Structure 1
Amino acid sequence: MANIKKIATDMGVSVATVSNALTGKGRVSSQMVDRIRQRANDLGYRPSLAGRALRSGQSGILGLVMPDLTNPLFPRIAQNLSMMADDRQLGILIADSRGNPDEQTQAIERLLDRGVDGLLIVPQKGTAPGQQRVPTVIINTASDPDNTVSADHAGGGKLIAEHIAALGHSDVIILGGDRVSEVQRDRVNGMHAGLNRSHKVTELWDKDGMDQLVCAIKDGATAIMTTSDLLALRVHSHLSQHGIFVPQDISLTGFDDLPFATAMHPQLTTVAQDVEKIAHLAIDRLIRTIQNDDPPVETTTVAMRLVMRASTLIKNETANLETTQ
């Protein structure tokens, strides 16, 4: 059976170098880390978590609390975090708080009771789980004072709004799903920032907002910006039932670039999170904190990317399209 000593002999390096490369500790070049991990995979090496725990006093397990795994965005985040942890030879226990703040609290306690070395928390909207008795990384949004790393939700909203403005739309609806959500509020604030005083902007929320869409369109609105792809899908269905079609009658945008955005007809204009980079930064920050490496405490935001598709159309021929390129 392959062990660290065998890998070290094959690579011509010390046992300590192999151990550091596999655990993410010490100063080992990224090229050497890749080579050592590839050789470990080739040999079928699997670390003994029990042995590691005895030697270091750490379990080698991280806890991840997700807000609702029925939302397609969150399994994608969980998968990327899991892959990043696996690259560091760490395991992850995942708990789903199922849209319930009380369940979130209980999930955190269960993971702590299992002896995890650190926690990654994507919090329930409107909650502030804060720092726990183990190192903790919060993945939420920049307006959350406890946030560690997140997508630039306000910046993504600004990108969408600038795109809509460049297409010549001057009467615009912003539709949010839940005012309690810090993420959605940041996205809406970013949309406002991407428009100017010449635009007529109607901000709507929740089911009441959905019910007002048809009247707002009849009053002259030509574009709807939503705070999620899921909400955009609901809007698309709602308008179709009233004989209003995207994009011929109204331009429509989403947020997050979920897989079904390309399955919609027309395909949905949206913004994409760099989930892989967010996961890398979150895992790196948590591991450094666990190792007492004094990581910086400031919030890190990761830029979002505009994805232009067929659900948005130019409003007039004089619109400036340069900013959409």
Structure 2
Amino acid sequence: MASLKQIASDLGVSTATVSNALSGKGRVSEELAEKIRDHASRLGYRPSSAARALKTGQSGILGLVMPDLTNPLFPRIAQNLSIAAEARGLGILIADSRGDAARQDEALAQLVGRGVDGIIIVPRLGTAPPQMDVPMVVINTASDPRNTVAADHRGGGRQLGAHLGELGHRNVVLLGGNRASEVQQDRMRGMTEGLGPEAHTCAVWGEEGMSALPGLVAEGATCVMATSDLLALGAHSHLSRAGLSVPGDVSLTGFDDLPLATAMHPELTTIAQDVEAIADQALDVLTLRIAGRPDPAPVSAIPMRLVLRQSTWPPRRRDLSVTLSSHHSETDPTGAK
């Protein structure tokens, strides 16, 4: 089994330097620390948690609180955080608040009670996690005053809006899941900015908003911009049931670039988060806080990437009321609604 001594010998540094690099303590340059972590990972080095606890008074275990592990985005974030922690010789205990504010507070208290050295939290929408007795990092959005690490949700929305503006869309529906979500609000702000002042936007929310989509398209909307890929999937179903095609009758975009985006037909134009960079930055800040060292210089929100697929197209000018009327007649011979 690999040891600190072997890693130090291989790289020509002291065991103290290796120990400091893996624990985030001491004065080790980021370049050297990364080199040490990479070599330790290749050798399969795993520190003894018992030895660490005796020597440092720390468990080498971090807590992670996620808002809803049934959402495919959050297991992906958790996996990248776990990989980043392992590269630093740390383990992670994961708790799921299941969208409940009280359960979120309870999970935080339980993790502290189990002796974690620090906590990473992706808070439930509309909540502000309480201060805890251990260092904590918040992954949310830049508009949250307690946020530590964030993807550039507003910038991502701006990229999508600019793309649709260039295609000629001027009447656009913004579809959100919950008004209380700061992330979704930031994404919508960016979408509106990207579309430009000439565009007319209408924001709708939740299941009621999805049900309204066919009517809004009949009234002239040429694109639906959803604040997540999951919402885009639901929107696609509502539009299809109304006899509307994507992108023939209406363009559609999502957000997050989940695997389902390429399983949809047509494949979904969306925005991808750099989840790996988010995880690395969160771990960098948390390990510094655990070591009692100052945070690194503030880093701007992590950029997102526009992923162009087949669900967006220039708007087509035609009367869709005939399409919807014909579809209702086919599905209900009596004409009843």
TM-score by length of structure 1 reads 0.92
Q: Any conservation in 2 of the 1:255–1:271 contact (CA below 8 Å)?
A: yes
Question: Helix, strand or coil for the counterpart of 2:301?
Answer: strand
Partner residue, 1:195: 195
Q: What is the aligned residue count?
A: 317
C-alpha distance 7-174 of structure 1, shift in aligned 2 (>3 A) = closer
Q: Which amino acid aligns with 2:90?
A: L
Q: CA RMSD in A?
A: 2.0
Partner residue, 1:125: 125
CA positional deviation for 1:131: 3.0
Partner residue, 1:291: 291
Q: Any conservation in 2 of the 1:136–1:286 contact (CA below 8 Å)?
A: yes
CA distance in 1, matches of 2:122, 2:22: 27
Q: Any conservation in 2 of the 1:168–1:316 contact (CA below 8 Å)?
A: no
Q: Which amino acid aligns with 1:246?
A: V
CA distance in 1, matches of 2:197, 2:2: 67
CA positional deviation for 1:41: 4.9
Partner residue, 1:323: none
Q: Any conservation in 1 of the 2:24–2:291 contact (CA below 8 Å)?
A: no
Unaligned runs of at least 5 residues, structure 1: 318-325
- Between 1:16-25 and 1:199-208, the stretch displaced more is 16-25
1:284-323 alignment to 2 at 5 Å?
284-296=284-296, 298=298, 300-315=300-315
Partner residue, 2:175: 175
2:81 matches 1:81: yes
Partner residue, 2:267: 267
CA positional deviation for 1:13: 2.9
CA distance in 2, matches of 1:147, 1:242: 41
CA distance in 1, matches of 2:308, 2:110: 43
CA positional deviation for 1:164: 0.8
- Between 1:136-145 and 1:32-41, the stretch displaced more is 32-41
CA distance in 1, matches of 2:57, 2:191: 48
CA positional deviation for 1:39: 5.1
- Between 1:232-241 and 1:199-208, the stretch displaced more is 199-208
TM-score by length of structure 2 reads 0.88
Partner residue, 2:220: 220
Q: Which amino acid aligns with 2:54?
A: L
Q: Which amino acid aligns with 2:148?
A: T
Partner residue, 1:145: 145
2:99 matches 1:99: yes
Partner residue, 2:322: none
C-alpha distance 9-193 of structure 1, shift in aligned 2 (>3 A) = closer
2:52 matches 1:52: yes
CA positional deviation for 1:4: 2.2
- Between 1:37-46 and 1:103-112, the stretch displaced more is 37-46
Question: Helix, strand or coil for the counterpart of 1:119?
Answer: strand
CA positional deviation for 1:281: 0.7
Q: Any conservation in 1 of the 2:248–2:316 contact (CA below 8 Å)?
A: no
CA positional deviation for 1:316: 6.9
CA positional deviation for 1:130: 3.9
CA distance in 1, matches of 2:235, 2:104: 30
CA distance in 1, matches of 2:131, 2:299: 14
Partner residue, 2:13: 13
Percent of aligned positions that are identical: 59
Unaligned runs of at least 5 residues, structure 2: 318-337
Summarize deviations over 1:239-297 as a string: whole Å, max 9, x none: 11111010000000000111110111101000111111111111101111111111158
Partner residue, 1:206: 206
C-alpha distance 103-292 of structure 1, shift in aligned 2 (>3 A) = same
Q: Which amino acid aligns with 2:46?
A: R
Q: Any conservation in 2 of the 1:130–1:146 contact (CA below 8 Å)?
A: no
Q: Any conservation in 1 of the 2:73–2:256 contact (CA below 8 Å)?
A: yes
- Between 1:11-20 and 1:157-166, the stretch displaced more is 11-20
Question: Helix, strand or coil for the counterpart of 1:192?
Answer: helix
Summarize deviations over 1:87-130 as a string: whole Å, max 9, x none: 10011111011111111111101100001111100000111004
